[in-house]
A and B are shown apart, each in its own frame.
Chain A
Amino acid sequence: MTATTHTEQKNGSPYLLSINNIEVIYNHVILALKGVSLDVHEGNIVALMGANGAGKTTTLKAISNLLRAERGDVTKGSIEFRGERVDAMTPDGLVKRGVIQVMEGRHCFGHLTVEENLLTGAYTRSISRAELKNDLERIYHYFPRLKTRRNSQAGYTSGGEQQMVAVGRAMMARPTMILLDEPSMGLAPQIVEEIFEIVKELNQKEKVSFLLAEQNTMIALRYSDYGYIIENGRVVMDGPAKELADNEDVKEFYLGLAKEGRKSFREVKHYRRRKRWLA
């Protein structure tokens, strides 16, 4: 893949999304992010990796502003989309500007049919029926499986199909950027591969940029252009996906690979306790 050249090409152009040193506090007391900065170039897929509770979801929610519904607040730093400050914007304001989040755990509307789910994605757009139909067909083109299940209640579809509904629903808003949270969660490896293939396709054909949070570092690095590794609410490492994948520390800590080949998980954990890489 031409991951690095892709990034280099875009270098110099203004960032699509730029997060500058944000701090997030939940309930006025719980410090979840301690100064996270990251940038996304237009047209890139950027991966945000790290363990459970590292702050990936919080970062995405800080951008989409779903944080406030969970009593979280961005207390320091700034978030800019196309050079415009968006920290104080409502979620629907952001969707109208082209940033939409696909939440962890899919969050389909269980009692609505697959098609109705997709239609809700276009809520912020005032478009004609014909355009709406057209857009639906476009989604079905990328997710043919959803077309066959269009009239079933989303709650009764499989996990993979629900993930497709969630991504398709977001696409109906015609976004320039999708914040995709943990797309692999609870899905069989084959389905995960299928979802990531579609993400790549949407990125290339529909020119949608992605910022995806993923625990599965292996697959995230394979499909993204650039990566950030986050630990305890801080970015501890970043670089082009290729370089990260070749980095010895990343191999050891996140991919479970050492020079001698695959290491046992137990050993890795033990070693990790001694060698912390807090910046």
Chain B
Amino acid sequence: MEFQFFLEVLVGGLLAGVMYSLVALGFVLIYKASGVFNFAQGALVLFAALTFVGFQNMGLPFWAALIITLGVMVLMGIGIEKIVLRRLVNQPPISLFMATIGLSFFIEGLAQMVWGTEVHGLELGITDEPFEVGGVFISSFDLFAAGISGTLVAVLALFFQKTKLGRALRAVADDHQAALSVGIPLQHIWAIVWAVAGFVALVAGLLWGSRLGVQFALTLVVLKALPVLILGGFTSVPGAIVGGLIVGAGEKLAEVYLGPYLSGGIENWFAYVLALVFLMVRPEGLFGERHIERV
């Protein structure tokens, strides 16, 4: 009985963790391809979810709304590259980072200007009925979300490791100028990455939106992605998943088993403490690329 309870908490935590991974994935994508922490990822998640709901409210069916929103996200990625990033080639990463902060405010404002500020419900048509496996109750929605995230991660990991374009993306992340010099067109690469990040934001926006409701608070989901990134490593797609699992399981277990002694609410800060400890021991994360420094 005791063990079964533990398992239930663990599984619940792991599944919730995968949801964090999904958000973290968007960061990893852009970080891997341009070496920049994209502050605007949360805004993209909000924008994607709001756009989807907005089209749905216009009476479009699920798939049509999904495809149109995807189109909008891709256009947005290309637009960001054309208007903002193109001018910042070869500038220090901090300039790019600052640009993404600006972008995030702009996108948040734009999203609410176009679609309004009220909270929308989002129905994905998945019934959230827990089912039982060997005495452990599992939420079917969580399982569905985990399945989607897992697939996305597998596809992206393969894409980065095995394809020509993935290799070019990693090359760009390492050295913009060298990438230019061998004829990798930075503009295309960045447009592609932002479009893909927009797609990931859409998936995250739909899953989180259907759980929390589509509202401004979606941008704050990003804060939970930070410890995930620190644990897993900013540059690793599988790291995002593993980091998410650790954070998800860790905070649920801590809440249940340490909560009674520490007066509860652990779930809210446990991940950050974990990340802090990790920063001291292994700053590049579990799977991140080590800094190469030769003397």
Distance of A66 Cα from B235 Cα, bound (Å): 27
Question: B179 at interface (Cβ–Cβ under 8 A)?
Answer: yes
B-binding segment of A13-21, A89-97, A253-261: A89-97
If A91-B180, A124-B183 touch, whether A109 touches B292 (CB-CB below 8 Å) is no
Distance of A101 Cα from B164 Cα, bound (Å): 21
Q: Are A107 and B289 in contact (CB under 8 A)?
A: no
If A96-B183, A120-B182 touch, whether A69 touches B170 (CB-CB below 8 Å) is no
Q: Note all chain B residues with C-beta closer than 8 A to A103.
A: 177-178, 181
Q: Note all chain B residues with C-beta closer than 8 A to A173.
A: 182-183
Interface centre among A95, A111, A169 (most CB of B within 10 A): A111
Interface centre among B167, B173, B179, B180 (most CB of A within 10 A): B180
Question: A100 at interface (Cβ–Cβ under 8 A)?
Answer: yes
- Residues of chain B in range 81-128 having any CB-CB distance to chain A below 8 Å: 89-90
Q: Are A107 and B184 in contact (CB under 8 A)?
A: no
Question: A156 at interface (Cβ–Cβ under 8 A)?
Answer: yes
Q: Note all chain B residues with C-beta closer than 8 A to A110.
A: 174-175, 292
Distance of A110 Cα from B177 Cα, bound (Å): 13
Q: Note all chain B residues with C-beta closer than 8 A to A117.
A: 171
Distance of A102 Cα from B181 Cα, bound (Å): 7
Question: A252 at interface (Cβ–Cβ under 8 A)?
Answer: no
Distance of A69 Cα from B91 Cα, bound (Å): 9
Distance of A101 Cα from B178 Cα, bound (Å): 9
Partner of B171 from A66, A96, A109, A124 at Cβ < 8 Å: A109
Q: How far is the CB of A67 from chain B (nearest CB, A)?
A: 11
Question: A267 at interface (Cβ–Cβ under 8 A)?
Answer: no
Q: Are A123 and B174 in contact (CB under 8 A)?
A: no
- Residues of chain B in range 260-280 having any CB-CB distance to chain A below 8 Å: none
Q: How far is the CB of B234 from chain A (nearest CB, A)?
A: 12
Q: Note all chain A residues with C-beta closer than 8 A to B294.
A: 155-156
How many chain B residues sit at the interface, stated as a range, is: 20 to 34
Question: A116 at interface (Cβ–Cβ under 8 A)?
Answer: yes
Partner of B175 from A66, A91, A107, A156 at Cβ < 8 Å: A107
Residue of B at shortest CB range from A158?
B294
Partner of A120 from B171, B235, B292 at Cβ < 8 Å: B171
Residue of B at shortest CB range from A117?
B171
Question: B185 at interface (Cβ–Cβ under 8 A)?
Answer: yes
Q: Note all chain B residues with C-beta closer than 8 A to A96.
A: 183
If A111-B289, A153-B292, A155-B294 touch, whether A121 touches B182 (CB-CB below 8 Å) is yes
Question: A64 at interface (Cβ–Cβ under 8 A)?
Answer: yes
If A110-B174, A156-B294 touch, whether A100 touches B167 (CB-CB below 8 Å) is no
Question: A119 at interface (Cβ–Cβ under 8 A)?
Answer: yes
Q: Are B174 and A109 in contact (CB under 8 A)?
A: yes
Q: How far is the CB of B189 from chain A (nearest CB, A)?
A: 10
Q: Are B292 and A112 in contact (CB under 8 A)?
A: no
Q: Are B177 and A119 in contact (CB under 8 A)?
A: no
The digit string for A76-102, where 1 denotes a CB below 8 A from any CB of B, is 000000000000001110111000111
Distance of A107 Cα from B177 Cα, bound (Å): 8
Q: Are A70 and B90 in contact (CB under 8 A)?
A: yes
Q: How far is the CB of B173 from chain A (nearest CB, A)?
A: 8
Distance of A173 Cα from B179 Cα, bound (Å): 13
Partner of B181 from A91, A112, A119, A155 at Cβ < 8 Å: A91
Distance of A101 Cα from B183 Cα, bound (Å): 9
Question: A235 at interface (Cβ–Cβ under 8 A)?
Answer: no
- Residues of chain B in range 150-204 having any CB-CB distance to chain A below 8 Å: 164, 167-168, 170-171, 173-185
Q: Note all chain B residues with C-beta closer than 8 A to A70.
A: 90
Q: Note all chain A residues with C-beta closer than 8 A to B90.
A: 69-70
If A112-B167, A112-B170 touch, whether A69 touches B185 (CB-CB below 8 Å) is no
Distance of A110 Cα from B171 Cα, bound (Å): 9
Question: A136 at interface (Cβ–Cβ under 8 A)?
Answer: no
If A64-B181, A100-B183, A123-B183 touch, whether A156 touches B174 (CB-CB below 8 Å) is no
Distance of A75 Cα from B90 Cα, bound (Å): 21
Q: Are A108 and B292 in contact (CB under 8 A)?
A: no
Question: A170 at interface (Cβ–Cβ under 8 A)?
Answer: yes
Residue of B at shortest CB range from A125?
B183
Q: How far is the CB of A259 from chain B (nearest CB, A)?
A: 42
Q: Are A123 and B292 in contact (CB under 8 A)?
A: no
Distance of A92 Cα from B182 Cα, bound (Å): 7
Distance of A108 Cα from B171 Cα, bound (Å): 9
Distance of A119 Cα from B164 Cα, bound (Å): 8
Q: Are B167 and A66 in contact (CB under 8 A)?
A: no
Distance of A112 Cα from B170 Cα, bound (Å): 8
If A155-B294, A156-B294 touch, whether A92 touches B183 (CB-CB below 8 Å) is yes
Distance of A205 Cα from B282 Cα, bound (Å): 49
Residue of A at shortest CB range from B170?
A112
Q: Are A66 and B292 in contact (CB under 8 A)?
A: no
Q: Are B174 and A112 in contact (CB under 8 A)?
A: yes
Considering the complex of A and B, which 6 residue pairs feature the smallest CB-CB distances, nearest first? A95-B183, A155-B292, A107-B178, A92-B183, A109-B174, A124-B183
For the A-B complex with A92-B185, A111-B235 known, give 19 more contacts whose Cβ atoms are closer than 8 Å.
A69-B180, A91-B185, A92-B183, A100-B183, A102-B181, A103-B177, A103-B178, A109-B179, A111-B170, A111-B289, A112-B167, A116-B167, A116-B170, A120-B167, A120-B179, A120-B184, A123-B164, A123-B182, A156-B294
